[in-house]
Amino acid sequence: MNINATLLGQVIWFALFVWFCMKFVWPPIIGALTERKQKIADGLNAADRAARDLELAQAKASSNLHEAKEKAAEIIEAANRRANQILDEAKANAKAEGDRLVAKAQAEIEQEINQAREQLRKEVSALALQGAEQVLGAEVNRDAHKQLLEQLAAEL
């Protein structure tokens, strides 16, 4: 249990080791730890921010979706209205065309009836004249009886 110069040797060791630790060991390790702490803090902040951003984006997306739905409904409604309008127009057109065609056909029929009647009248007067000639056995002067014949034709 002697106290001797070992003391001095150990003091030298101690000073040397503490100096070495202070110079080469402590700073890099504690530096890395501090840096890592900062990095983790930054990462956590970024994660929080990202979560907030995501929330905002989701809200925006849902509002966009809602808007789009409304717009689509509007468009569909407008399209329906337009379709109905077109349908009505087409119906009206078709009716008008049909009426016109019917009227035209009737006019034509009328005209043809008149024509036929005219023709018939002429033929009847001729036939009547012929019949009378045969009955009388003589020629009837067309010009002399013209008034009479025309009267007859008009009565038909």
Partner 1 sequence: MADTPTEYIKHHLTNLTYGKVPAGTVRCDGSITQADQWVLARCGEEMNAMGFWAFHVDSLFFSGLMGIVFLGLFLWVARRASAGVPSGFSNFVEVVVEFVDGLVRDTFHGKSKLIAPLALTTFCWVFIMSSIKLLPVDTAWGLQVLFGLEYLKLVPTVDPNITLAMSFSVLFMIIGFAITHKGIGGFIGDLTLHPFEVSNPIGKILFIPINFVLEFVALMAKPVSLGLRLFGNMFAGEFVFILLAAMLGYWQFVGAVPWAIFHLLVIPLQSFIFMILTIVYLSMASEQH
Asked if 101 interacts with partner 1 (CB under 8 A), we say no
Under rule CB under 8 A, residue 17 binds partner 1: yes
Q: What would the two tokens of residue 125 be? A: 């007067």
How many CB atoms are located within 10 Å of the residue 78 CB?
A: 10
Identify the residue among 13, 63, 73, 85 touching partner 1 (CB under 8 A): 13
Q: Which residues contact 152 (CB under 8 A, 6 or more apart)?
A: 124, 125, 128
Q: Quote the least distance from Cβ 46 to partner 1, whole Å.
A: 15
For the bound state, the minimum distance from the C-beta of residue 34 to partner 1, rounded and expressed in Å, comes to 9
* Binding flag, residue 46, partner 1 (CB under 8 A): no
Q: Does 45 bind partner 1 (CB under 8 A)?
A: no
**For the chain, first and last CA: distance in Å?**
172
Binding-site size, partner 1 (CB under 8 A) = 34
Q: Are 132 and 140 in contact (CB under 8 A)?
A: yes
**Is the Cβ–Cβ distance between 129 and 144 less than 8 Å?**
no
Residue 7 makes contact with partner 1 by CB under 8 A: yes
Question: Would you say 9 or 131 has its CB closer to partner 1?
Answer: 9
| Residues found near partner 1 in the complex (CB under 8 A) | 1-11, 13-18, 20-22, 24-33, 35-36, 38-39
